[in-house]
Structure 1
Amino acid sequence: MKPFSGWAGRALVLLLLACPLLAQAFDLEQLGAQLAKPAVVRGPFIQEKHLRALPQPLTSRGQFVLSREHGLLWQLHSPLQQDYRIGDQGIARRTPQGWQQQPGQDVAAQQSRLFLAVLRGDHAGLADDFELQLSGDAEAWQLSLTPRSRLLQQIFSAIHIQGGALVERIELAETQGDSTLLRLPQSQVDDSLSEAERLARAP
């Protein structure tokens, strides 16, 4: 009788074929490294706020600049103009008197910190507050977040993120039935901030 014949041989072949697939499985470490690699990511954003009381979503548009070193600059262009700076120190809003720190416990602040962690690929930080479930591969992936903490459970019921080389879509489902959809349709990477972007961050 020849070795590895019959069902045993077929099982061995299937196992050998599966090994490269298992080795190439796309995981959270790889996703984090992929998203954290660019020094700068910039592009337009479209944000839709879906409220139960309104038949149409509230839509806002603007530009964002994510710097690995400096955090996130969020420039709202419509329906009003307003700049936000989001970093490890929290969220600040630009006023005629300069940048002013904002309260850290409201929904906007929670969303801002979440956006920063997601765009940075900070899966370790996200895992402190959420159960993470990743599917897909490096070119087309989906990440689902389920809140762990009681505070976040009072705000979000689930968060779904999709992307490829960069984050392309973030959907936040709120506990009370409202939701927010953020689309980043034309993000681009760069090695450094432009002069205008550096000035926009200045105190």
Structure 2
Amino acid sequence: MNGSRGMGRIASRTMHLLVGLLTSVSLGFPPMIARGAASDPSELLDRIARPAPAKTRFIEVRFSNLLTAPLVVSGELDYQSATSLGKRIDSPYHEQLNVSGDEVSIVREGEPLRHFSLKRAPELRGMLTAFGSLLAGDHAAVEQHFQIAVAEDGDSWQLVLTPRDPVVARRLPAVFVTGLAKIPRCLTVTEAGGNASVLLLGDAGLEPLPEPLELAALDLRCGNPAR
């Protein structure tokens, strides 16, 4: 694929795919998490490790300074292995993004197939390794790429991942994952410039979206810290 702008778009979509593949099966929304209840990350990482293959439906709400209103998309995440991942968008348009080894392919309805090599973006390659390690329960590999913070309140928990790579951190300052017991249910990605995406996973996506649709309302529902 030619052009830095096109490469940047695919890189951004790939980043969203990687953070979205933290889960396989999800149900409902978690209760609000009590702040300051720090826990051992290793125990939580053991609980949320996922064997391949795994799939989950999702609703994603994207907040961008370039949009006049939040964009809501829905589809399915597909985790086949640590190096084989997919994200299908069914609505409001059709798109399929696949990662196989170092190669990313993306096709959108009415557009030609595009390709992108992770060799051109080592920060994304590192993210792929890290998220594959997260799903596999490899604590050391996860901590190589992220600073990890955990808060728990009973069965409810929040996992905060902060990229160690400064290149990744400039694009993706933090990832918040909230869940209940073994099930991650809500995932929020903060981006540079105040942009953000919230993924409602599995049955959580069946709940009506708040009106008006604002990031603060989804943060409250997901148990994220105040911005």
The interval holding the TM-score normalised by the smaller chain is 0.5 to 0.7
Q: How far apart, CA to CA, are the structure 2 residues paired with 1:108 and 1:59?
A: 24
When normalised by structure 2's length, the TM-score is 0.56
SS of 1:92's partner is strand
Partner of 1:140: 156
Q: How far apart, CA to CA, are the structure 1 residues paired with 2:43 and 2:100?
A: 23
Alignment coverage as a number of residue pairs: 162
Partner of 2:176: 160
User: Does the 8 Å CA contact 1:119/1:167 hold for their aligned counterparts?
Assistant: no
Map 1:1-203 → 2, pairs under 5 A? 27-68=40-81, 71-94=84-107, 101-104=115-118, 105=121, 119=135, 121=137, 123-136=139-152, 139-164=155-180, 165-186=182-203
Q: How far apart, CA to CA, are the structure 2 residues paired with 1:90 and 1:40?
A: 19
Shift of 1:59: 1.1
Q: How far apart, CA to CA, are the structure 2 residues paired with 1:107 and 1:76?
A: 24
Which runs of 5 or more structure 1 residues have no equivalent in the other structure?
Answer: 1-24, 188-203
Label 1:39 to 1:179 Cα distance change in 2 as closer, same or farther (>3 A). same
Structure with higher strand content: 1
User: Does the 8 Å CA contact 1:51/1:178 hold for their aligned counterparts?
Assistant: yes
When normalised by structure 1's length, the TM-score is 0.62
CA deviations over 1:131-185 (Å, ceiling 9, x no partner): 1101216832101122322201221222211123232111111121111111113
Larger relative contact order (CA 8 Å, sep ≥ 6): 2
Which runs of 5 or more structure 2 residues have no equivalent in the other structure?
Answer: 1-37, 205-227
SS of 2:202's partner is coil
Shift of 1:77: 0.6
Label 1:181 to 1:134 Cα distance change in 2 as closer, same or farther (>3 A). same
Equivalent position amino acid for 1:144 in 2: V
Q: How far apart, CA to CA, are the structure 1 residues paired with 2:198 and 2:80?
A: 22
Deviates more, 1:157-166 or 1:27-36: 27-36
User: Does the 8 Å CA contact 2:130/2:145 hold for their aligned counterparts?
Assistant: no
Label 1:146 to 1:69 Cα distance change in 2 as closer, same or farther (>3 A). closer
SS of 2:88's partner is strand
Shift of 1:67: 2.8
- Select the structure of larger CA radius of gyration: 1
The RMSD of aligned alpha carbons is 3.7
